[in-house]
A and B are shown apart, each in its own frame.
Chain A
Amino acid sequence: MPGGESHAGQIFCCVGALAITGSLHHIDRDLLGWWLCERQCRDGGLNGRPEKLADVCYSWWVLSSLIIIDRVHWIDKEKLAKFILNCQDKENGGISDRPDNAVDIYHTYFGVAGLSLMEYPGVKPIDPAYALPLDVVNRIFLTKQQ
């Protein structure tokens, strides 16, 4: 809301909405891109705002926003991928918010989606605004053209 502190979750909602309405020109991409790339912590994960701990779900909120404004190269993707993979429960499956925590569907989804955005081998590419597989979005929009 107006006057509120910047937060990556809110940022994704705004950037995504602007993207699908062809309104990205309202954004100062260098400024926002820098604030977002500063979410990468020493452990390689991403946080949601300054001086907070990294959390796998920000692999989606921050990463998709960066991709939409073409500034994703400003983070270290390899380090982030390692962080996400470290959040797996290798015995029982699933991904947690940070290493050695309990897994849940929410974080598993965002971990996998984040890996997809980073072109991790074997993961289907995902659309950064709609969070749907690219081939689904392409089919919907381009079939309309006939």
Chain B
Amino acid sequence: GRAYVQKRITHCRRNSSLLEIQLPPTPSRHRRSNEMHGQPRRPKQPEDDAAAAAKAAKLRELQVQVLHNHHTCTYTEEALGLSFKLLEINPEAYTAWNYRKLALQHNLKELSDPEAIKSSVDAELRVVELALRQNPKSYGAWYHRKWLLNQKLAPVDFKREYGLLDKLLKVDARNFHGWNYRRFLAKFMGVPEEKELQYTMDKISENFSNYSAWHNRSILLSNLLIQRSEGFESKEKIFSEEFELVIQALFTDPGDQSGWFYHLWLLAQTSTPDNPQLISSWPSNGAKLSLFPTRKNGDQNMVSSPSSICCYSLKEGIIPIVLYFNDPVKGLNPSNVKLNSDFVFDKDLQWRPLVITDSGYSNCWATYLEIRNKDCSTSQQFSVEVSIPCSDDIMSRSGSHCNCPVHFTFTVELGNNNDEAHDIDLFHDPISWSSSESFQSHGKPSCVAFDQLNITSALVQEESRWNLDRLSDEIDLFRDLPDENSKFAKLTLARLLLACAAIKSRGSSLIERKGYCEEALGFFSDLINLDPSHKRYYEDERSLVLMDQLTCDMETFMKYCSVQVRSNSATLNHVQLCRLSLTRIGFTERMLWVQMLDLSHNKLRSIEGLEALQQLVCLNISNNQISSFTSLEPLTKIVSLKALDLSFNEIGAHPIDTTRYMCSSPFSHKVERCEAFVECRKKSVNVEEFWDAILFFKSVNLVQLDIKGNAVADKDSFVTVVTTLSPSLKWLDGTCIH
């Protein structure tokens, strides 16, 4: 395999001077075929107006006549001739094409002789050919030809059709109308895929830079594979040959994009969809939840219960359970996610996807146990076992179902009603973001499950969606690419490395991700220099890799973790990821336990991913690049969120909202009637100006908000919106507003 490919590359390099001349962009290849494109600018001549008027008059006259004939169903020779004249000048006169269809159907009623019928059809085909000469990209002309063949009035002249296509694709190999028609014709006439594959080979041999030919190749191969429905074995063989072919192209001219896009498609074909698996949960296996694990002992000293986790939602009698899968899945319900406990829960559980879109698929699912602790005079403890047996219902988008049974168990400690715990007020004083103590001093490491999930049943699969060998071969191959400045080579290498990292997703192998991440980060730095126009794409990719690198192993992650102790000794697990130039967030499945998160002083414009953090009480995203309330919709899914620092962002500074259609709003028809709009209108708030702020604040219940340093904060009525919709708000920009 690899040795053979290596030999081919050496051969290509030696012979590259013999290989195809790169055709410079020819005027015809890039000419748009109607008069609105590619017309050189020239100074206006006095004759121009007269010429334009004359042309318009002629066309209008023809149009009027043709429409008249159309409305009166006049299909005489003369009438047809007029429609032909019109279409010859303007093939875009769509009604004239339809008129001709009706004329043909009408006139054929009187013909029974096959020769005569064929003659009529040929005349129509000729009209199309002449129109295409005028505009090879006329939708009306191409469709008319397809319609003619579909009528099956006469045998198709193979030579004529393919002759036309060959001619047109020779003039412009990227004419997608031609390629679409070619695909239609091949199917219509039962031309085998292999033959058409040969044609694409001819086109590619003429010129490697033929995206349309490569694209057609991908369609033909897809068809072939569906037809044969063979096992992975022969699929491997076909794709091996394709890899060879595309690598030849890439090594001949790494600057041309077509091969790189085709290569990307090939990589996607050769990865088999995995069965989705649970990779993280909250609570984690063995966790002990309570409301106030730090107690005063007999000597009034603080004693912390080392393995207990403080779950603040217990105050309201709620325990969230979060499940995180490695692929978006659908179909979780009480019959396939079983809960087993001595404690009787109040109502039927509903598993909800924690995602801002409505697709039904999500990596992250949650349910909320409700605990009514009415008559509890003593403390009690109970355990909950969550188990997911193999289920056909839980499915990923590729149709693979969850086939790895898992279960985990956690315990809950409920204090009695006289417990001081019930007096916890985390917000007696405003949260400060700068004072936290080290993780170790509170003996808390055990509450953080760095391998995400202790699964107490055997893991079924170690197979991965990528073949690590193939990935390694490809990486070695592209490292050898002579062109130092090929951006696509570097991007492909980065992607291959990250595919390798993705394979290392369990337990002790997680730390191996760091090496791949390190190297990928290097490539993204190079790419930012090589391709500055796309700098922010590479920054987004870089941010995800950085988050992976920082959180994949305990030793590294611990440096960013601490504990914040509140005045009443309540504690919050605190993670700080500041000043890292992060532009987006990822790998939040590793942070399901986080109660206080500081992402300040980054370059975040999106916080997608945070919706999974169902223990989050305090969030600091100050000094970032958040530009709208709609982009904060993930926060509306975090029931526990009480303190939010949004200061020094860009909300209200941008007239164009790039998440306008991503969020739930009247514009995406997800919000039909909104009481909050009515309420705000009553207070003279201009709903057209503040609709996004209103939708946000009505969906969160904040106790502390910092918003200074955003243009929206200075607008009249903004404070009215906030205070009207936030009944629990106590601290606004540092001031107590009771």
Chain A residues within 8 Å of B, Cβ to Cβ:
1, 3-7, 19-22, 24-26, 33-34, 37-38, 40, 44, 49-53, 55, 67-70, 72-76, 79, 89, 92, 96-97, 100-104, 106-107, 116-119, 125, 127-129, 134-135, 137-139, 141-142, 144-146
Contacts and interface: CB of A to CB of B under 8 A. Distances in A.
A100 B540 CA distance: 36
Nearest to B689: A138
Given A50-B258, A76-B532, A101-B39, A137 B688 contact: no
Nearest to B540: A74
Contact of B658 (A24, A70, A75): A70
Contacts of B656: 67, 116-119, 125, 128, 134
Nearest to B487: A38
A55 to B, nearest CB: 7
A50 B670 contact: no
A104 B358 CA distance: 41
A102 B39 CA distance: 5
Contacts of B658: 67-68, 70, 72-73
B695 to A, nearest CB: 11
B533 A22 contact: no
Given A100-B40, A102-B41, A25 B209 contact: no
Contacts of A6: 215
22 contacts: A1-B180, A4-B176, A4-B180, A5-B179, A5-B211, A6-B215, A20-B661, A22-B668, A24-B668, A49-B211, A53-B25, A53-B30, A70-B659, A74-B536, A75-B533, A97-B38, A102-B42, A116-B656, A119-B655, A119-B656, A142-B677, A146-B681
Given A1-B180, A100-B41, A125-B655, A38 B357 contact: no
A70 B606 contact: yes
Contacts of A53: 25, 30
B359 A141 contact: no
A103 B56 CA distance: 18
B677 A38 contact: no
Given A51-B256, A73-B536, 17 more contacts: A1-B180, A5-B176, A5-B211, A20-B667, A21-B668, A22-B668, A24-B357, A70-B662, A100-B41, A101-B37, A104-B36, A107-B36, A125-B656, A134-B656, A138-B688, A144-B666, A145-B678
Contacts of B179: 4-5
Contact of A129 (B256, B359, B537, B661): B661
B352 interface: no
B30 to A, nearest CB: 5
The 6 A-B pairs of least Cβ separation, nearest first, read A25-B357, A22-B668, A25-B359, A125-B655, A19-B661, A102-B39
Contacts, number: 149
Interface of B: 25, 30, 32, 36-42, 44, 174, 176, 179-180, 183, 209, 211-212, 215, 219, 256-258, 261, 357-359, 361, 532-537, 540, 605-606, 631, 654-656, 658-662, 666-670, 673-674, 677-678, 681, 687-688, 691
A72 B358 CA distance: 23
A40 B533 contact: yes
A49 B173 CA distance: 13
A112 B41 CA distance: 19
A27 to B, nearest CB: 10
Chain A CB count within 10 A is highest, among B606, B666, B673, for: B666
A22 B358 contact: yes
Contacts of A96: 39, 41
B667 A137 contact: yes
Contacts of B659: 70
Contact of B533 (A76, A107, A134, A139): A76
A145 B688 contact: no
B26 to A, nearest CB: 11
